[in-house]
């Protein structure tokens, strides 16, 4: 585990388990769902921390990718779909770290037919955390997408539940198969497990009386999953679920896909 510290903030980075942010704490406020629950049960690879999703984010319909006239199939790790890319369960290599920053890299895995690598950088300051992702092609162009999947705990103090402020202008209609149909509609009231666009401003995750996080990302798509009783996911992504098939971004050798996420915090005066 790589430990970063800046002011009252602590971040722990788990290279062995998907190159993820395993813990983020500001003062006495621990904001992320941890690897083990309160009974000691280990959560699944997609159920904790804040992990990078590469070379796609969200669902890939039926685990199938059609690109350049060829169909490729991937393990159905969230039947009937493949989900969250190839790397959340892989060990990432430590490319160097110090007390406030870390860089991790990974090959995109044996199931990804195009080769390529990803690089995850993290920089902690007393006022915030900046994450950046790069997805690099090897010798041939390839489709790609990326993003982050943070699990924010709902309750960090008794009586201070999480308050999500999120103002999207449009939502992708979700079909019976759980995939976006391509139609954009006005967002209904939650709970959600949906993809949104055209935000009026950065999302905020607020625990009244304790801490407020503001999420700024270069990504133009956001998935919000707020159905669980104990956590909320607010996920910046470079495209919608199944985007490798419907809205493909093509990465050329020497010209990586890049994305960034900044998490800024304001600590309540108590």
Count how many Cα atoms sit within 13 Å of the Cα of residue 183 in the half-sphere of its side chain: 7
The number of beta carbons lying within 10 Å of the beta carbon of residue 29 is 20
- pLDDT on residue 150: 98
pLDDT at 270 over 50: no
Rounded CA separation 104/269 (Å): 35
Average pLDDT over residues 103-111: 94
* CB-based contacts of 213, cutoff 8 Å, min separation 6: 31, 152, 204, 205, 206, 263, 264, 265
Q: Report the number of distinct structural domains present in the chain.
A: 1
* Length of the chain as a residue count: 270
Tell me: the pLDDT tens digits for 208-231? 989 999 999 999 999 999 999 999
Strand partners, 137: none
Determine the structural domain holding residue 133 and report its residue range. 2-267
Whole-prediction pTM value? 0.95
Tell me: the pLDDT tens digits for 129-152? 999 999 999 999 999 999 999 999
The token pair at 81 is 């779909």
pLDDT band at 160 (very low <50, low <70, confident <90, very high): low
CATH code for the domain of 105: 2.70.98.10
Nearest of 31, 21, 30, 86 to residue 56 by alpha carbon: 86
């Amino acid at each position: 585990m790589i430990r970063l510290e800046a002011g009252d903030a602590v971040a722990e980075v788990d290279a062995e388990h998907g190159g993820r942010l395993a813990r983020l704490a500001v003062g006495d406020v621990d904001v992320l769902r941890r690897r083990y629950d309160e009974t000691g049960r280990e959560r699944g690879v997609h159920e904790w921390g804040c992990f990078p999703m590469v070379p796609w984010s969200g669902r890939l319909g039926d685990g199938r990718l059609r690109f350049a006239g060829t169909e490729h199939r991937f393990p159905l790790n969230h039947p009937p779909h493949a989900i969250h890319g190839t790397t959340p369960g892989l060990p990432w290599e430590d490319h160097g770290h110090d007390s406030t920053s870390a860089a991790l890299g990974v090959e995109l895995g044996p199931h990804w037919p195009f080769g390529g690598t990803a690089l995850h950088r993290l920089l902690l300051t007393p006022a915030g955390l900046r994450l950046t992702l790069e997805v690099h092609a090897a010798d041939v162009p390839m489709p790609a997408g990326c993003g982050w999947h943070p699990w924010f705990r709902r309750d960090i103090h008794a009586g201070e539940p999480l308050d999500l402020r999120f103002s999207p202008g449009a939502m992708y209609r979700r079909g019976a198969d759980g995939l976006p149909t391509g139609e954009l509609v006005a967002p209904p009231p939650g709970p959600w497990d949906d993809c949104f666009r055209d935000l009026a401003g950065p999302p905020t995750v607020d625990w009244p009386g304790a801490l407020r996080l503001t999420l700024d990302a270069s990504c133009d798509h956001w998935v919000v999953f707020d159905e669980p009783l104990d956590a909320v996911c607010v996920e910046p992504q470079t495209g919608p679920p199944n985007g490798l098939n419907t809205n493909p971004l093509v990465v050329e050798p020497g010209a990586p896909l890049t994305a960034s996420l900044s998490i800024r915090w304001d600590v309540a005066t108590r």
